[in-house]
Each structure stands twice: as C-alpha cells, then as structure tokens.
A and B are shown apart, each in its own frame.
Chain A
C-alpha cells in the first residue's frame, strides 16, 4: 500500500519530468507555428544543452550561473545555425521533405556530438549543492526546485515575448498567415531563425537542467525529446498552453505508471495511452477540432 510519502515522491518526480517535457514541447511548438513542420533536431538541441553546460564548467571553468546561461545561449545559436545552414537552403515547400530534412540534420548533429564529446556517459553537477530537502516526509533534490523555478521563468518569458513584443506579434502573424505577413513586410526568414533560436534555448535549458539528475551522453535527448514531442501532440500541436499541460500530464502519467504498475513498462504505458488519446481525439486533448 503506497503511503502519502510515496505518493508525494512520485508526484514530484512526475512534475519534474513533466516540466522538462513541457519545455521541449514548447520548442517543438514554436517552430511548428512558424514553419508548419516537426523539427526533429529539437531532440539534439536538448543533448547539446547538457554538453555545452559540461564544457562551460570543465573546459572553460566558468561558474555555474554563467555556465548555464552560456549553455542556453550556445544551444540557441545552434538552433539558428540549423535553420540557416540546414533548412533555409532547401526551397522545397513540401512539409514531408522538410520533416525528413530535419531528421537528416538530427543525424548530423548526433555525429558531431559523438565526435566532439565522445560516446561515453558523463556526469554534470547540479546547480547547487546536493543536500536533499525534506518535505512532508518526501525527499526533494534542490535541482528539482531549480527545474520548477527556471522552467516557470522560461515559460513566462516566452509568453511575454509572444504577447507583448513586436517580435512576438510578427511571429504570430507568420503563424496565422504567412502570405499576409510577407505582404506587410515581415521577413519570414528572420522569424524562422528566431523561432529556431527560441527552440534551441528551450531545448538547451531542458538539457542543462535535466542532465544532472540523469546522465549526459550524445543521445540523451532522443527519448526525452520524443516525449516532448508526444507532450506537444497530446496538447494539440502548436498550442503553448496545451504543450505545458501535455508535458505535465505525460510526466505524471509516466511516474504513476512506474509506481503503480511497472517501471520497466512505463514507456509502453505512456506511449500506449498517447496512442489511445490520438485514436479517440485525433487533434490531441486540447487541440481545436477540424476547421
């Protein structure tokens, strides 16, 4: 019989993972909203966040706050580079082709990471000391509080940019009507690059925050990233609120499945439920119906 403490423990674990999935899902959504495609390099931007943090700490010897900021910025730059040198040269308007293109770019990014950082697993230290905090009998790593705090800050910043800045207005314009946006003089190429930068920053932050509790390797982002994609789909691809709700829901679900049923099969349960949701509601839980 699980006690309240156990329950709290799983709740924290689920929310932690959920927050990470939500961050990654937002990265997927931002690019989807400006280009209409699934950007599979998102998964590698997550791994890159962890890699850059590792290098900033151990290669350049930067202090933690600076290293974290540097890692996020470097991941954002990587996102921009992907758009500039990988996506933009293709003038194809076919979404299928563009999606396959991001898959090819993702293979390249993993190759580069293998080359630069090697195939071995690495450990990244948490933001602050490892002393667990006790809360209603459950233990909580300080890193988890950092995850909640920084994720919330990032989400608020993202929403603020979209609602209250000219840049956000332009991005919403491109999302709702690319042709009209071009007519009023919005440079769609620049907007796409910015959306990749935001996706990189979101993914990079997720990677930098989560690798201290998992481990770091060149492919750590793949499963995390795909769950982020699943979260975005669950929330109705494209909607920010849906992505956040989808991420938290997926994290909780997975954690409860691991606790109540079987930890070996938690991916089966999570993805099985996702399939079930899609079969019942093809537009995701929070997505709008067919227009």
Chain B
C-alpha cells in the first residue's frame, strides 16, 4: 500500500466517525461565525427536531411501521417536563428524565396492542392517539392551561449556568443531538440494526432467521417515543413556553415528511430532512402564500423521483450505477 492508499483506506474505514467529528467541529465554530440570535434559534430548532426525527426514522425506515402521531409523544415530553418543574420545582434535568421514563412506559403499554395492528389500522391508531392527546391538552384548562398553554417553564442549567440564550442552547441542544445521531448511526450499523432492516423488508423471512419480529418492533417504538419525549422536554425548557399548537397531527405529519424527504432508514437523511423542512419557510418568506404548495410539491417530487428519500435514494442510485459500470467494464 502506498501512503496515499493508506490515507484513503483510513478515510473509508472511519468515514462515519470522521463525518460526525466534522459536523461537531462545524457546529462548535458556528456561533462564532453566525452570532445572529435569530439564525441560531432556527438551527436550535433543527437540533430539537432532529432528536425526534431520528427516533421516528428508526421506527418507519427500519421497523417498516407507520406512525402519524409522533407529535403526541413530543407533546407528552413537553407538558410532562413543564408541569413537573412548574408545580414541584423539580430540577429540569430530573423532570426531563422522569418524563422520558414515564413516556417510555406508556409507549410500551400502548405498543403491545398497537403494534398488533398493521398498515392502515396502525395509521389510524397513531392518528387517533395524537388527536386524543391534543384534545386533552386543549381542554384540560386547570392543568394544561388550555389553548393558551403554559408559560414560565424554568430553563435547563449546566454546572450552575442557566441555558437561557440562543448561544448556550446551541451548544446544549447540538451536543445532545450529536449524541443521539451517533447512537442512531451505531444502531443502524450494528447486527441489531440489520435485523431491524430485515423486519421492515420481509417479516416472515426475518422470523425464520431467528429475529424476534414483535419484540424488535416494540423496542424501536419505545425508543422512538422516548427520543420524541426528550425532544419535547428540550423544546419546553428552551422556549420556556408551550401550547398545544406545536403538538397537532399536522406536526406529526411534518415529522413524517422530514423522515421521508431525508430518506427512509437513513440517519444522515434525518439531519437533511429536518434541516430542509425547518429552513424552508425561511427561504419562502417572500412567497408566504405559496408556502404550503411548495412544501407539498417538494414532498411529492421527492417521493415520485426517489421513493426512498433524498439520501437513501441517491445512495442506492449511485451504488447501482457504479456497480453497473464495473460490470460492463468486465464484460
């Protein structure tokens, strides 16, 4: 091997780890380059959503299931964290963890009957769950504050430093987002990730190879609910104000479009999808009236041209193309 080959080999072997490090470095430097709190606020929102989108992508892209109600878990996380800190004065970190635990347990109980359902029935059940949660948030005035929501949620703090401006929240949110991204990439590359991908593509064959299909689905569902809950808690402590409007079925559908556009079963795709959908309205400021149409057109165009989403679809396309050219070269 020449030194050049060695470098190339090193880059190929460690491409995932190096990409994560590169992303981390860029994000570390980002606030010094862009000190504009408005722009930081947007990238912070991407970080918060990314955590939930990665979980949802594991559920849709890997376990091959459909969920049109993940904003409900986002909402449960946000309201759980908010209520615990406002009423009991609990440490926000502890509140976040307790809420995630409770949501994890709830989703486990919900998963057992829900995941017996398939296809359209599962779509309905998850939608229904979201509508139930949203209506309770809207109507249970004494507890949830109804349509006006809850204000005065205490911010998180790290080593006595309150995370109360965009710059600080940038570092906190992206640290957590990169941890989740890394965990997601690890899972996707592991044998277990392979088993999950197998479940999504052919359940009978997966079972015949020793993969516990139902258990795999339940675990991924609980993981995705817990991640959504954590994202919701972060959201609540970041904005110190929440109302039910952030947790409607339309938000669930937005989460799904983030997964779909970025790429089913692609963790990096989740980053792309979340960024695109959150940045889109900023670019479309001038055409406020055309916003939904353009948003929908992008989803539809991506799905028609690359049904697996941008990242997964392009990856497949490039791989097949390069293999085909190799095959032709051999002949």
| Interface set of A (CB-CB < 8 Å, partner B) | 32, 38, 86, 89-90, 92, 94-97, 99-101, 103-112, 114-115, 222, 226, 229-230, 233, 237, 264-265, 267-268, 271-272, 274-275, 278-279, 282-284
Counting chain B CB atoms within 10 Å of each CB, the highest count among A107, A110, A229, A278 belongs to A107
B10 lies within 8 A of chain A by Cβ: no
By a CB distance below 8 angstroms, the chain B residues around A271 are 128-129, 131-132
Indicate with 1 or 0, residue by residue over B246-260, a CB within 8 angstroms of chain A CB atoms: 000100010011001
**6 new A-B pairs (CB below 8 Å) besides A96-B64, A115-B293, A279-B116?**
A38-B120, A104-B296, A265-B135, A271-B131, A272-B132, A278-B113
B289 lies within 8 A of chain A by Cβ: yes
A111-B293, A111-B296, A268-B135 are known contacts. Are A275 and B125 too (CB-CB below 8 A)?
yes
By a CB distance below 8 angstroms, the chain B residues around A272 are 128, 132
Are B289 and A114 in contact (CB-based, < 8 A)? yes
| Interface set of B (CB-CB < 8 Å, partner A) | 60, 64, 66, 113-114, 116-121, 123-125, 127-129, 131-132, 135-136, 139, 249, 253, 256-257, 260, 264, 289-297, 299-300, 303-304, 307
Across the two chains, which residue of chain B brings its CB closest to A264? Answer: B139
If over half of A's interface residues share one DSSP class (helix, strand or loop), that class is named, otherwise mixed; here it is helix
Are A108 and B300 in contact (CB-based, < 8 A)? yes
CA distance A226 to B248 in the complex (A): 13
Across the two chains, which residue of chain B brings its CB closest to A229? Answer: B124
A-B CB contact pairs (8 Å), 5 listed:
A96-B60, A100-B256, A101-B299, A222-B249, A233-B120
CA distance A32 to B124 in the complex (A): 14
8 closest Cβ contacts across the A-B interface? A111-B292, A104-B299, A108-B296, A107-B296, A111-B293, A279-B113, A271-B128, A92-B307
Are B132 and A268 in contact (CB-based, < 8 A)? yes
A111-B292, A233-B124, A275-B125 are known contacts. Are A282 and B117 too (CB-CB below 8 A)?
yes
Counting chain A CB atoms within 10 Å of each CB, the highest count among B128, B139, B291, B293 belongs to B128
Partner of A95, one of B119, B290, B292, B303: B119
CA distance A226 to B114 in the complex (A): 18
Are A226 and B303 in contact (CB-based, < 8 A)? no
Q: Count the A-B residue pairs with Cβ separation under 8 angstroms: how many?
A: 121
Are B139 and A115 in contact (CB-based, < 8 A)? no
A107-B299, A237-B120, A265-B135 are known contacts. Are A274 and B307 too (CB-CB below 8 A)?
no
Are A110 and B292 in contact (CB-based, < 8 A)? yes
CA distance A104 to B295 in the complex (A): 8
Are A100 and B260 in contact (CB-based, < 8 A)? yes
Counting chain A CB atoms within 10 Å of each CB, the highest count among B116, B123, B295 belongs to B123
By a CB distance below 8 angstroms, the chain B residues around A229 are 124, 127
Are B120 and A108 in contact (CB-based, < 8 A)? no
Partner of A112, one of B125, B293, B304: B293
Are B121 and A105 in contact (CB-based, < 8 A)? no
By a CB distance below 8 angstroms, the chain B residues around A237 are 120-121
By a CB distance below 8 angstroms, the chain A residues around B60 are 96
Are A233 and B121 in contact (CB-based, < 8 A)? yes
By a CB distance below 8 angstroms, the chain A residues around B292 are 107-108, 110-111, 114
Are B124 and A108 in contact (CB-based, < 8 A)? no
Are A111 and B127 in contact (CB-based, < 8 A)? no
A265-B135, A282-B121 are known contacts. Are A90 and B297 too (CB-CB below 8 A)?
no
Across the two chains, which residue of chain B brings its CB closest to A96? Answer: B66
By a CB distance below 8 angstroms, the chain B residues around A100 are 256-257, 260, 299, 303
Taking the nearest CB of chain B, how far is it from the CB of A127, in angstroms?
30
CA distance A100 to B66 in the complex (A): 10
Taking the nearest CB of chain A, how far is it from the CB of B73, in angstroms?
15
Taking the nearest CB of chain B, how far is it from the CB of A246, in angstroms?
11
Taking the nearest CB of chain B, how far is it from the CB of A284, in angstroms?
7
A38-B120, A264-B139, A271-B128 are known contacts. Are A108 and B297 too (CB-CB below 8 A)?
yes
By a CB distance below 8 angstroms, the chain B residues around A107 are 253, 257, 292, 295-296, 299
Across the two chains, which residue of chain B brings its CB closest to A236? Answer: B121
Taking the nearest CB of chain B, how far is it from the CB of A271, in angstroms?
4
Counting chain B CB atoms within 10 Å of each CB, the highest count among A104, A106, A226 belongs to A104
CA distance A116 to B56 in the complex (A): 34
CA distance A266 to B291 in the complex (A): 33
Are A97 and B290 in contact (CB-based, < 8 A)? no
Partner of B296, one of A105, A265, A282: A105
Taking the nearest CB of chain A, how far is it from the CB of B193, in angstroms?
19
CA distance A106 to B66 in the complex (A): 17
Across the two chains, which residue of chain B brings its CB closest to A262? Answer: B139
Across the two chains, which residue of chain A brings its CB closest to B113? Answer: A279
CA distance A284 to B120 in the complex (A): 11
CA distance A133 to B96 in the complex (A): 57
CA distance A16 to B131 in the complex (A): 22
Taking the nearest CB of chain A, how far is it from the CB of B34, in angstroms?
30
By a CB distance below 8 angstroms, the chain A residues around B127 are 226, 229
CA distance A274 to B303 in the complex (A): 31
Are B128 and A94 in contact (CB-based, < 8 A)? no
Taking the nearest CB of chain B, how far is it from the CB of A175, in angstroms?
15
By a CB distance below 8 angstroms, the chain A residues around B257 are 100, 103-104, 107
By a CB distance below 8 angstroms, the chain A residues around B132 are 267-268, 271-272, 275
Are B131 and A97 in contact (CB-based, < 8 A)? no
CA distance A108 to B299 in the complex (A): 10
Are B139 and A101 in contact (CB-based, < 8 A)? no
Across the two chains, which residue of chain B brings its CB closest to A273? Answer: B128
By a CB distance below 8 angstroms, the chain A residues around B139 are 264-265, 268
By a CB distance below 8 angstroms, the chain B residues around A279 are 113-114, 116
By a CB distance below 8 angstroms, the chain A residues around B296 are 104-111
